[in-house]
Amino acid sequence: MSKVAIIGYGTVGSGTVELFMKNRESISRKVGKDCDIKYILDLRDFPDSPFADRMIKDFDTILNDDEVTVVAEVVGGTTFAYDYTKRLLEKGKSVVTSNKALVAAKGAELIKLAKEHKCNYLFEASVGGGIPILRPINKCLAGNEILSISGILNGTTNFILSKMIKEQMSFDDALKMAQELGYAEADPTADVEGEDACRKICILGSLAYGKHIYPEMVHCSGITRITLDDVEYADNAGYVIKLIGSVKKLEDGKLKAIVCPRFVPKTNLLASVDDVYNAISVVGDGVGNVMFYGQGAGKLPTASAVVGDIIDCLKHPRTVLAVNWEDSEDKSFVVPYKQTNTSVYVRIQADNAEALKGSLSEMFGKLMYIERAGRPENEIAFITPTMKEADIDDNLTILSHTAQIKSKIRIYQ
């Protein structure tokens, strides 16, 4: 008999228990022996749960039970979760998790600790919810040099943007709905300000390039300043606005990593990814462009990835599954984004907006101006040519003396 423990009985934890118990027979067949959940740790009481007899409040019960070899940490956060994970790995118990905050902050350390104690730290559920993405990068695509990874990595913001664009729902109502559906983080600021997507691009980049990319190394902005005017300009120019996380290998071998809203061409597959769905494009030097698509958040999709990791650990006891991800003293392998090239959409307002077009051309070169129905006379919107972002920002600083810069959104290239 193989025994599993679950730490945290929130959205993902309860989904993990539900899916595991529903499919326990087939899971046991796949593992090759009888499998069961022995403990569910949560400080709250769940007297009506069908699994009330497995509920405990004391972590040491799990830590000191030799029968438990695999633990799912689905409690979230980086305090208790970090402490519990370290102590479990030090005991040689494998830990699987959906906790992207912890993986992004401590992944290199916890993977090393797991290796030293001949167990595993697996985190498929930390990126893309139910989408299998980390194993494909780590295994199936291992023969490639990864040239870039980019995509929609946050279900909540994609849900909000879809509702705003397609149903003219307000930002606040859409966010409330995403929270009710169990998509959003405990503090949804992490979703809407791009921090959650940032953690995920750090995890993807660290796995693909073998060096820990910390969230502090990645420029990150969210969707809170996007207006319906921007949405309309994007639409008229042939784009939709999506929050995109990306990491790209540059010609000198260094990496560019960034999370921000982007104008995505309607012809790109990412443009048609709506609601809670995520999609991740991985470009390898052999395989070309591979796209992964599925539900990026929610109880059972995320549980699907957690249970998959549990099964992998149960099937391979005392086997360390190879993960290429180490810490690096030198952090200069990620370049400052301002030193890289981009093209941006800009919306400005000024009393003499039309008269500014001459100096705009001198600053940026040939611009593509965009129209929208009812555009006020004091507003113009345009897309710049591709140029160094620091130069774009210098120009916008000069421009800000005569106009209000209302929006700057990068174009997806």
Q: Give the active site residues.
A: 200
Residue nearer to ligand HSE on the CB measure, 125 or 141: 125
- The verdict on 184 binding ligand HSE (CB under 6 A) reads yes
Q: Does 191 bind ligand HSE (CB under 6 A)?
A: yes
Q: Which of 297, 300, 353, 399 binds ligand HSE (CB under 6 A)?
A: 297
Q: Which of 296, 300, 303, 304 binds ligand HSE (CB under 6 A)?
A: 296
183 counts as binding ligand HSE under rule CB under 6 A: yes
Nearer to ligand HSE by C-beta: 124 or 185? 185
How many Cα atoms occupy the beta-carbon half-sphere of 344 within 13 Å?
25
Selected range binding ligand HSE among 29-37, 177-185, 215-223, 350-358, rule: CB under 6 A: 177-185
Selected binder of ligand HSE within 13, 107, 130, 155 (CB under 6 A)? 155
- Site residues for ligand HSE, 58-77, by CB under 6 A, read none
Tell me how far apart the alpha carbons of residues 164 and 152 are, in angstroms, rounded to a whole number: 16
Q: Would you say 129 or 222 has its CB closer to ligand HSE?
A: 129
For residues 203 and 154, is the Cβ–Cβ distance under 8 A?
A: no
- Which two structure tokens, joined as six digits, stand for 411? 């174009």
* Residue with tokens 């300009």, as numbered in its chain: 233
Please identify, using beta-carbon distances, which residue of 129 and 205 lies nearer to ligand HSE: 129
Examine residue 97 and tell whether it contacts ligand HSE (CB under 6 A).
no
Residues 377-396 vs ligand HSE: string with x where CB under 6 A?
Answer: --------------------
Distance CA 66, CA 1 (A): 12
Q: Identify the CA nearest to 134 among candidates 306, 331, 315.
A: 306
Residues in 111-140 that interact with ligand HSE by CB under 6 A:
129
Of 196, 230, 309, 389, the one binding ligand HSE by CB under 6 A? 196
Least Å from the CB of residue 80 to ligand HSE: 19
Q: How far is the CB of 128 from ligand HSE (least distance, A)?
A: 8
Nearer to ligand HSE, 125 or 146 (CB): 125
How, if at all, do strands 55-56 and 121-122 pair? unpaired
- The alpha carbon of 119 is separated from its chain's Cα centroid by a whole number of angstroms, namely 26
Whole-angstrom distance, CA of residue 85 vs CA of residue 74: 11
Q: What's the min distance (Å) between Cβ of 211 and ligand HSE?
A: 23
Residues interacting with ligand HSE, by CB under 6 A? 129, 154-156, 183-185, 191, 196, 296-297
